[in-house]
Amino acid sequence: MAHHKSALKRIKQNKKKTARNKHVRSTLRTFIKRVREAVAANDTNLAKESLEAAIPVIDSAASKGVIHRANASRNVSRLSRLVNTLG
C-alpha cells in the first residue's frame, strides 16, 4: 500500500481513468462488432447504418486517448472496406 499522500491520490485517479477508459473501449468494441455481424449476415443497409454509427465512436475513443489515432484510422478503413465488399 502507498504511504505518501500523492501516491494515494494517484491510485484514486488511476481507478477513475481505468473505469472511464474501460467503458469507452467496451462501447467501441460493441459498435465494431455490430458492423462485422451485419456484414456477415449480408445485410447491406444495416451494415452501412452500423458503420455510420461506429465511425464517431471510434473517433471519440481516439480523441480521448483510449486508442491511438492510427489505430482508429485503421479500424475505420478496414470496416469501410468490409462494408464496400457488399456492394
Dump pLDDT digits (tens) for 15-42: 999 999 999 999 999 999 999 999 999 9
Residue 42, domain member (yes or no): yes
The CATH number of residue 71's host domain is 1.20.58.110
Residue 63, domain member (yes or no): yes
Judge whether residue 1 has pLDDT over 90: no
Residue 65, domain member (yes or no): yes
For residue 4, what is its C-alpha cell? Answer: 505518501
- In the chain, the number of structural domains is 1
Q: Is the pTM for the entire model greater than 0.75?
A: yes
CB contact at 8 A, 75 and 25: no
Residue 6, domain member (yes or no): no
Q: What is the mean pLDDT of the chain?
A: 95
Residue 52, domain member (yes or no): yes
Residue 3, domain member (yes or no): no
Residue 62, domain member (yes or no): yes
Task: State the residue range of the domain holding 58.
Answer: 27-87
Distance CA 5, CA 12 (A): 11
Burial classification of residue 43, based on how many CB atoms lie within 10 Å of its CB (0-12 exposed, 13-18 middle, 19 or more buried): middle
Residue 16, domain member (yes or no): no
